[in-house]
Each structure stands twice: as C-alpha cells, then as structure tokens.
C-alpha cells in the first residue's frame, strides 16, 4: 500500500479480495479502505474489475477469497438485503428501478418493514428537499427522465440512512450544472459522516470531488493517490499503464458540400412518453464534425431514428442526405446514399446479441463491402472484414466468431464503430460513440472519427458528454425538448454556455421552454 497506514476505524476495509470467474480473474488481491466521511474514488478502465468489486461489497456476488471488514468487524455480505442492513447503499449505473411502479412504490420496495405509502411520500419529499433532489413520489417511473430516475435512486438510498454509499458512474446522464448539484449533495452527505465510494472514469470529476482514490488495472490495485494532488494525465497513467493518447485535431477544412441537411424537421413521436421533434434545422458539410449536446431524453432518440430511417417521415424534404431528399426512404436506401450510422443501443440496435461478429459485420457492410454475391454470402470476405474491424479497433474477446453479447460494452462499441468507419462513409451519424468505453479506447475512437473527417467525411455526433464534444467537434448545437439550437463554432462556445443551452435556454429559443424544462428547473 502506498498510502500511510489507515486509521483503525475504517468504515469499510477490504483485504486481499479475489474473485475468479470461469476463465477470468476479475479481482486479485484487492486492498481498499474507506474512512467515515471520506469520498473515495475507484478508478479503472472497462474490465479493470471495478464493477465486480462493488458487487462483492454490495453482496450481489461473493468473493472467492479475501476478507471484508465493516466497522472493524469481519463480515460476510450474504446478499444485497444484508448489505443494506449493514448500512451500505448503492446507486446503480443501469438503474434498478421498476418502470411500471410509482416513485413511492419503488422506494417502498427497497425499505425494510412495511412503510405506509402516504407517510413514505412525505419522507421522500422531505429528503429530496433537504438534499436538493426534487422528485415527485406519485409519478410513475417510466415517465421520468434519466436524470430524474437517478435522483429517485439516490433518494431511495438516502432514506435508508446509509453509512456507505456506492455511486456507479453517476454523472453520465447529467448536465454540468446538475453534476455540480450532485456533488454538493455528496459533499453534504460526506460532511455528515457518510462514506462514499465513487466509481468513475471521468478524471476531472474525481479530482474535483474525491478525497482519495484507488486505481485498478487488470483486476489488481495499481495505485493509491490523492486526486487533488494529481493531474488527469498522471491518474490516467496509473489507470492504463501508459500515457493517455492525445487526439490530433487539425482545423476544419470547411467549405465542403452539404452531406446532411435537416430542413424544418418536425415529427410527432409514437411513444406516449417520447419527445416530439419541432422544426429542426441543421447542415453538416463534408470535412467537419458537428456535435449535438443535450441531456438524454430530449429528442435525441427521435432525431436519430428520423435521420437513420428507422422512423420514416411524412414528407421527403426535411431530411436530405448527400443532396437527395431522404425523408421517405428506408434505412437501407439511406445507407446506399452513403450514410453510416452508430446507434446508441449496442445490443438490439447496433448488433444482434446472439450472432457472431462476422454476421454482425455483414448486417450493415454487406452491400458496400461486396460481402454478398448474387444473393449468397461471401463468407471468406465477411470474415476478413470482421477481422479487419477487430484488428484495427483492437476489439478484445473471442475473435470474429464470438457472439456480440459475449463482448464487454466497450469492446462491442469499438467493433460497431470500426464496422461503420471502415465502410468509408460519406456521412457518419454516431450516437454516444464512446459511451461506457474506457479512456484509452475512447481516445482511439475519437481519433478515428477525426481521421475520418480529415478524409472528407461529414460527421454528426450526438453525445451527452460535453468534454467529448468539445474535444472533437468543429461546431456544436444543443437539443432540448425536441428543439435544436443554432450551431456554434467550437472556438466561440464555452462549457457554461452550452450547459445553459441544454436547459432549453438559448437566445431566441421561444417561450415554450418553462413547462418542459424539467432538468433546467431542477438543476
């Protein structure tokens, strides 16, 4: 251990935790200690063993070896219920809420005993007011935005008065202002004596929030540090074992032909809880990257479907791809115009879970790459294409015959990005291109997107990660409540301004914002 000897009263101490899955050692000899009132970061790439370790602490799974001490006592955490009895709460990355139930019912499910719903609703309102986490206990979860759902999860944990709160990548769905608000809440909790384990790969956030950090690499502890005394580069080095690759981002060439034009795109969503798109205008030219920022659930999905052709429009002209009016064309026809597309959901939209990577490669690349001859599959060529994606984008796990669902999220994302980029599209539309991908791979994907732009492709990136958009985009626009802001050159835009726009408050945004600007009002 590199830190000075820890106080004997560590709230949680792990010694030599080891977890073996068939074929994989997920955790190996992990030591970790969290003091009361400490915000402790657990930092690591995908597959470094962070999630496994948290599952062990929360009793979802048992360690193969090692000791867990809680308040100085050796314990075996039998299951999550036992963890909560001990005073351990967890906010999951993929929320563990029940969509068909109300907020109050969701909270009631996690509390011991038989709380009376009306009394519970009062307590929810009390806690949410106290920590600045507004939620309405009567609403059904499926109608809530992602940010609101996260608040429900946090409130649910807080009602159990935990002494250790585990937060798994909590900021991925929040605006910068909401992140700041969340940090205030966490700091207040810590000041009251609650310990917090904060899992993230966002180095800036960890530096701003956490008192100390444990870095994992390949299932082992690769270092301890005090984030405030480190630079993002030095922490990244601990995390990936080498210097963080840096994106080479030349100036935009500009002046290229228009490859994507949205000309007054309006579309009413079929989903009763979806967002209607209202009069969107945007142009993306060859040789530039345009980013669309926004908190999820503000029309991104609907916009993507309207562009990709998954949802056909009533008219032809609102979506123009490479000069052709494509509003009524199918997804396949749009791809023939030169569109390549990376959806947000990897499994189910981006890839067929049960099919091997070879076949998943075929699905979008068959036509452009000549993987089909006279209606028959050219197996050898398809395999070569899949292997080229795997080699170029360093996709790890099983090779070309591995089923898509057997890959980790980050590796599958690399494969899908590779599949689309290697088709040399004229227009690439990518949603959350680095979502859940570790820093090393994310930098690689971003570089690949920039290289693609430099070769004259037009790129539209829709992302919730502002840092990412600021790193790669030439121009940036914001989507909020189904409306699109005018784009801004990246040199003239600031994080604060874009953050504010994400609440629907850009100049000339109209007057309809207040009733639907939920995130804004809360943030």
Rounded Cα gap, residues 143 and 120, in angstroms = 20
Q: Which of residues 177 and 408 has its CB atom nearest to another protein in the complex? A: 408
Cβ contact 287:456 at 8 Å: yes
CB of 77 to another protein, least distance (A): 11
Rule CB under 8 A: choose which of 15, 69, 82, 316 binds another protein. Answer: 82
90 or 304: whose CB is closer to another protein? 90
**Is the Cβ of residue 81 or residue 208 nearer to another protein in the bound state?**
81
Instruction: Name 55's Cβ contacts closer than 8 Å, sequence gap at least 6.
Output: 61
Residue list 44-63, contact with another protein (CB under 8 A): 58, 60-62
The one among 96, 253, 266, 454 contacting another protein by CB under 8 A: 96
**What is the SS3 string spanning 94-154?**
CCCCCCCCEHHHHHHHHCCCCCCHHHHHHHHHHHHHHCCCCCCCCCEHHHCCHHHHHHHHH
- Three-state DSSP at 49 gives coil
- Binding to another protein, residues 111-130 (CB under 8 A): 114
Shortest gap between Cβ of 26 and another protein (angstroms)? 12
- Chain mean position to CA 403: 22
Nearest residue (CB) to another protein, 140 versus 406: 140
Out of 24, 74, 109, 495, which residue is the one contacting another protein (CB under 8 A)?
109
Q: Which of 20, 35, 101, 324 binds another protein (CB under 8 A)?
A: 101
Contact call for residue 105 and another protein (CB under 8 A): yes
Nearby residues of 166 by Cβ (< 8 Å), 6 or more positions away: 54, 57, 58, 88, 89, 90, 91, 196, 197, 199
Complex with another protein: residue 64 or 253, whichever CB lies closer:
64
Distance in Å, CB of 156 to another protein, minimum: 8
Strand partners, 225: 213
Out of 70, 92, 131, 506, the only residue in the binding site for another protein (CB under 8 A) is 92
Provide the mask over 261-280, with x wherever binding to another protein is found by CB under 8 A and - wherever it is not.
-----------x--------
Q: Minimum distance between the CB of residue 105 and another protein, rounded to whole angstroms?
A: 6
Closest Cα to residue 192, out of 57, 37, 328? 37
Work out how close the CB of 142 gets to another protein at its nearest, in angstroms, rounded to a whole number. Answer: 8
- For the CB of residue 465, give the shortest distance to another protein in the complex, in Å: 26
Q: Considering beta carbons, is residue 58 or 385 the nearer one to another protein? A: 58
Angle formed at CA 177 by CA 295 and CA 450, multiple of 5 degrees? 55
Contacts of 17 (CB under 8 A, 6+ apart): 27, 29, 30, 31, 32, 53, 56, 63, 65, 66, 67, 68
β-strands 24-34, 195-200: how paired? unpaired
Contact status: 110 vs another protein (CB under 8 A): yes
The minimum distance between CB 179 and another protein, in angstroms, equals 24
Q: Is position 489 an interface residue for another protein (rule: CB under 8 A)?
A: no
Decide whether 61 or 364 has the Cβ nearer to another protein. Answer: 61
The reply on whether position 138 binds another protein by CB under 8 A is: no
Regarding 132 and contact with another protein (CB under 8 A), the answer is no
- The DSSP string of 272-323 is TTS--EEEEEEEEETT-EEEEE--TTSSHHHHHHHHHTSS--SSSTTEEETT
d(CA 55, CA 411): 21
Q: Which residues bind another protein (CB under 8 A)?
A: 58, 60-62, 79-84, 90, 92, 95-101, 105, 108-110, 114, 140, 142, 272
């Amino acid at each position: 251990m590199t830190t000075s000897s820890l106080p004997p009263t560590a709230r949680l101490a792990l010694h030599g935790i080891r977890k073996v899955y068939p074929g994989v050692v997920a955790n190996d000899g992990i030591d970790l200690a969290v003091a009361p009132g400490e915000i402790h970061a657990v930092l690591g790439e995908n597959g470094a063993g962070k999630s496994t370790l948290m599952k062990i602490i929360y009793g979802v799974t048992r360690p193969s070896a090692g000791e867990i001490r809680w308040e100085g006592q050796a314990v075996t955490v039998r299951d999550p219920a036992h963890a909560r009895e001990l005073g351990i709460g967890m906010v999951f990355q993929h929320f563990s809420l029940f969509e068909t139930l109300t907020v109050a019912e969701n909270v009631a499910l996690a509390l011991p005993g038989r709380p009376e719903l009306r009394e519970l609703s009062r307590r929810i309102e009390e806690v949410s007011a106290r920590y600045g986490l507004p939620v309405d206990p009567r609403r059904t979860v499926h109608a809530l935005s992602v940010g609101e759902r996260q608040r429900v999860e946090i409130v649910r944990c807080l009602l159990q008065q935990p002494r250790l709160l585990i937060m798994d990548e909590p900021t991925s769905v929040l605006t910068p202002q909401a992140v700041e608000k969340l940090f205030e809440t966490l700091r207040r909790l810590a000041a009251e004596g609650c310990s917090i384990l904060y899992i993230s790969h966002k180095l800036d956030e960890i530096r701003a929030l956490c008192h100390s950090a444990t870095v994992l690499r390949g299932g082992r502890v690769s270092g301890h540090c005090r984030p405030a005394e480190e630079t993002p580069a030095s922490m990244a080095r601990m995390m990936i074992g080498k210097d963080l690759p840096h994106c080479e981002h030349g100036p935009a060439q500009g002046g290229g032909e228009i490859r994507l034009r949205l000309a007054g795109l309006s579309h009413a969503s079929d989903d009763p809880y979806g967002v209607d798109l209202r009069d969107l205008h945007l142009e993306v030219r060859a040789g530039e990257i345009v980013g669309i920022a926004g908190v999820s659930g503000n029309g991104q999905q609907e916009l993507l479907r309207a562009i990709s052709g998954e949802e056909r429009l009533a008219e032809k002209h609102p979506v123009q791809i490479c000069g052709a009016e494509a509003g009524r064309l199918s997804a396949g026809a749009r791809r023939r115009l030169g569109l390549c597309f990376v959806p947000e959901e990897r499994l189910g939209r981006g890839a067929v879970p049960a099919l091997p990577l070879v076949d998943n490669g075929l699905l979008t690349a068959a036509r452009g790459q000549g993987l089909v001859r006279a209606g028959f599959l050219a197996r050898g060529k398809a395999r070569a294409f899949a292997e080229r994606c795997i080699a170029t984008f360093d996709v790890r796990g099983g090779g070309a015959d591995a089923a898509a669902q057997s890959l980790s999220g980050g590796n599958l994302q690399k494969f899908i990005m590779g599949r689309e980029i290697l088709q040399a599209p004229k227009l690439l539309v990518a949603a959350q291109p680095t979502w859940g991908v570790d820093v090393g791979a994310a930098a690689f994907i971003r570089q690949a997107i920039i290289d693609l732009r430099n070769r004259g492709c037009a790129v539209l990136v829709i992302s919730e990660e502002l840092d990412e958009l600021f790193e790669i985009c030439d121009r940036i626009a914001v989507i909020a409540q189904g409306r699109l802001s005018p784009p801004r050159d990246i040199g003239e835009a600031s994080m604060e301004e874009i953050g504010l726009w994400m609440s629907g408050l850009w100049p000339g945004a109209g007057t309809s914002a207040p009733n639907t600007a939920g995130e804004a009002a809360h943030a």
